[in-house]
Structures are given as C-alpha cells and as structure tokens.
Amino acid sequence: MPVFDPFLDFEENGYLQNRFKEKDPNVIRELEHTMFRAGLDDALEYLSKRDEIAYSDFLEVHRILFSEIYPWAGKDRNELVPDKAISKAGVKFCHPMEIQLSIDYGLRLGQDKEYLRANPGEVMGLFAYGHPFLDGNGRTMLLIHTELCHRAGFSIEWEKTTKFEYLTALSKEIEKPRDKSLNAYLSQFISSSRNRDSWGGSIKSIKGLDGVGETNNVDGDYSDEQVSREYLAYKLERDRVE
C-alpha cells in the first residue's frame, strides 16, 4: 500500500512529520490512539464551555487531541497542502479552499436543534466531506458531533454501531448526500441525552478508534488538469439533485 506522504518527506521526517519521525504505521496508530485517550477529557471540557461552536473550535479540538504527536495539529489542509487532492478508499474529499465552507455549513445545521435531531447523518457527512485534517478527522468529528447532539437533547449510541456499516454509510453520504444514507443508519442508534460524565468511557469503548483501515491517498495536484477535471466531475455529481 502506498504511503500517504503529502509533504513528500516521509523518508526524512516519518509519517506526516510526526514528532518522533516514526514510519511504522502500527506504531503511529498506537501513538494516535494513546494521545486521543489522553486528550479526550480536555477536548470535551473545552467544547462544553463554548457558547457556540465555530470552525476555530473544530481546529482547536484537533490541536488538543493530537499536538503531542503532530506539530501541525490544529491546522487544516488549506493551510498545509492547499494544492493536494486527497481521497480515501476512492472517496474524494472537498477542495482545500472549500473545507471551511463545508464545516461551517455543518455547524450551522448542527446548531439548529430541531434540524439536527432529524438529520444527524447529514451534519456528520458535511464534516466528513470537509475532511479538514491530514489525520485525526474521525475522532475530532465524533467529539464535536457528540457535543452538538447533547445540546439538541439526544445522543447516538456509537458503541452499538459497527465500523464497517458506519463507514459504508458515511462514504455513501459523502458521495451522494441526496440519498441521506447516514441519516438512515444513525436513526437506529438515537437515544436520550447522556450525562457528560459518561461520555469519556462511552467514546473510548467505540470500535475502530484505533484508526486501523484504509489510509488517505494523494490523488495529485489541483494544478494538474486531469486531477482538477476529475474533481469537478465528482463535485457536480455529488451536488446533483434528483
């Protein structure tokens, strides 16, 4: 499997310029998982104190969770690699210049309590399509989505989901949001709101938080006419309304 190397310096600086210059993917995943667990309570406390959650808070949560392993934690793709087209398992993410638009839209919908209760999958799908970070997106999205659901008076029993079924629905949501695939999947797991004190244990018990699975892929530079054309065709199909 090709190494995800958007900085083009893997041999010199390891995977994504991590602070340890580590190259072994298994060690990296273990480090990420350890740092996530260590920073989880601080990240949740940070979110609980925000009157309104903004894009800057999305970045800050990522920084809290992953700054001990990645020096660029809290910085998005538009700042780090604005010319790179990124995908995962064949699913393309939005252009770096559109990241904040996608996240802001998701946050606006997600802070409409009635709308979020009816469309939790749509909001998560917008976060996923935005894919702000080179790594650590899923865990950052999960914490913010959990906070938004709590404010809307409900919770999602993530520990009852399966990684394969969730990621399948999420991929469909990113590619064809009009089908509302993730709304349908998550509707099975909606429950009453939970006390904040229980969140840490519940989140840590979710299967798949070790990040094992498909890795990101650099499809090329947007300055490449073919890459740009493929992305535009993908986006037009994604945005099509039937």
pTM, whole model, 2 decimals?
A: 0.95
3-class SS at 196? helix
DSSP string of 125-188, one letter each residue: HHHHHH--SSS-HHHHHHHHHHHHHHHTTEEE-GGGS-HHHHHHHHHHHHH-GGG-HHHHHHGG
Determine the pLDDT at residue 99.
99
Is 130 part of any domain? yes
The answer as to whether 110 is a domain residue is yes
For residue 145, what pLDDT is reported? 97
Give pLDDT < 50 ranges for the chain: 210-212
pLDDT of amino acid 213: 56
CATH number at residue 211: 1.10.3290.10
| Residue 138 falls inside a structural domain | yes
Q: What is the pLDDT of residue 196?
A: 85
Q: Which two tokens stand for residue 209?
A: 């938080």
Contact 159, 206 (CB under 8 A): yes
**Residue 44 resides in a domain:** yes
Residue 198: per-residue pLDDT: 83
What pLDDT does residue 232 have? 96
**Digit-coded pLDDT (tens) for 10-26:** 999 999 999 999 999 88
Number of domains in the chain: 1
Question: 4: alpha, beta or left, given left = phi > 0 and alpha = psi -120 to 50?
Answer: beta
pLDDT at 240 (0 to 100): 87
CA distance 158 to 205: 9
Which residue in the block uniquely carries the two structure tokens 């300055």? 223
- Beta partners for residue 220, in sequence order: 85
Q: Which domain holds residue 206?
A: 10-75+84-239
